[in-house]
Amino acid sequence: MHGVHEVAGSSPVSPTTHMITILLFYKFTRIDNPTKESLIHKEICLALGLKGRILMNEEGINGTVAGTSEAIALYRAYMNQHRLFKKIDFKESHSDANPFPKLKVKARREIITLDIQSPDALCVRAKHVDRDTFHDWLKKGEDMVLLDMRNDYEWEIGRFVNSVRPPMKYFRELKDSIDFYEPFRGKKIVMFCTGGIRCEPASAYFIAQGFDPSLIYQLEGGIVKYAEKYGNEGFYEGKCFVFDDRLSISINTSDSAVIVGHCYHCDQFNDIYHNCANKWCNKLFLACDSCHEKYHGTCSLSCQIIINDPVNVRPFHTPVLHRNK
C-alpha cells in the first residue's frame, strides 16, 4: 500500500536530533463505521500537519504517520484518549525530512492484504513473544525456526540471523506458498515482520492450516520494537525496509553494522534500493553507485537502451506504486 521514490535514504532507529518523527502502528479493535471514523481521523491529522497512510476497516486500524515531534506528541495524546485507539503500541523512528508526500486516510476491506476469501477463519492468532524473551532465546541458541513474514525484497537488505527467506514477492502470496513451510510442522516457530501486523493474519493462517498453535509465536512489535532496545548488539543484520521515501532504516548504528544485500548487477555488497529509470519497468533493485551510473539508473541493458528516448525516462522523484501485498 506504499509508494516509494528512487533515492533511498537511511535513518537510525533511535536518534535524538532529527526534525521529523515517524510512527508505525496498528490495533485490532471493533470499528462499527470505519468510513465515518476515517473521515474524522483525517481531519485530526490534517489539523496537526501530519502526512502518511492510515487504513481502517471493521477489524481495526493500520497506519504510519510523520510530522514534527510536537505534532506527533499531540497525535499520540489524541489516540491515547480515544475509546477505540487507546493503548496502541507505537513504534517510532526519525528522519531529517518528511518521508511521505501527502496524507491518505481510507476505509478499506483489508487493513493488511492477505486476500483470504473467508477472513473469519483467521480469528485465532498466535501468542506474542516480547523482545526481551525473544532476545534471550536467540542468545541461548533456542531450537526454533525464524520465519520472515515480509516480502522477499525486504529480506534482501536485512533479517534476523538464520531466519528463513520468504518464498513470496508480496505478502498476499503467503496463501499460495504454504507448502513451503510444511517441513516446519511440529517445530517451534517465531514469526517476525517490520512492526508486527503481518504476523497477526499470517500466524492465524498457519493455525487455520493445521499448525500447532502452542508452537507458534509472533514477535511483539516486530523488528522496529526489537531494534529500539537491541539494535546495536542484537541479532538483526542489515537494514530494515520501510514503505516510504526513506526505503530503509538502519538497525545497527555502530561500527559493527554489516551490509547483507548485493548489487543486482555486480553482486557486491550493497543495500541501496532504486527504481529502474525506465518508466515502463520501474523494477525495484539494489545497485551500487558504480553500476547505477554505468547502467544509467536502469536494471538492465535493454532498459538502458529504452531510455535513450527521453519519453521513456521515469521523472526523477516521481512516486512509484510498489504495494505491500
Cα dihedral value 266, 268, 269, 272, nearest 10: -30
* Rounded CA separation 29/37 (Å): 13
C-alpha cell at 90: 507505537
The per-residue pLDDT for range 17-71, each reduced to its tens digit, is 458 999 999 999 999 999 999 999 999 999 999 999 999 999 999 999 999 999 9
Res 19: pLDDT = 87
For the domain bounded by 122-238, which CATH number is listed?
A: 3.40.250.10
Res 112: pLDDT = 87
The per-residue pLDDT for range 250-270, each reduced to its tens digit, is 999 999 999 999 999 999 999
Q: Is the pLDDT reported for residue 6 higher than 80?
A: no
Q: According to CATH, where is 3.30.70.100 located in the chain?
A: 2-107
Band of the pLDDT at 114, cuts 50, 70, 90? confident
* Catalytically annotated residues: 193
128 DSSP β-pair partners: 218
Band of the pLDDT at 124, cuts 50, 70, 90? confident
C-alpha cell at 3: 509508494
Backbone dihedral region for residue 83 (phi beyond 0: left; psi -120 to 50: alpha; all else: beta)? alpha
For the domain bounded by 2-107, which CATH number is listed?
A: 3.30.70.100
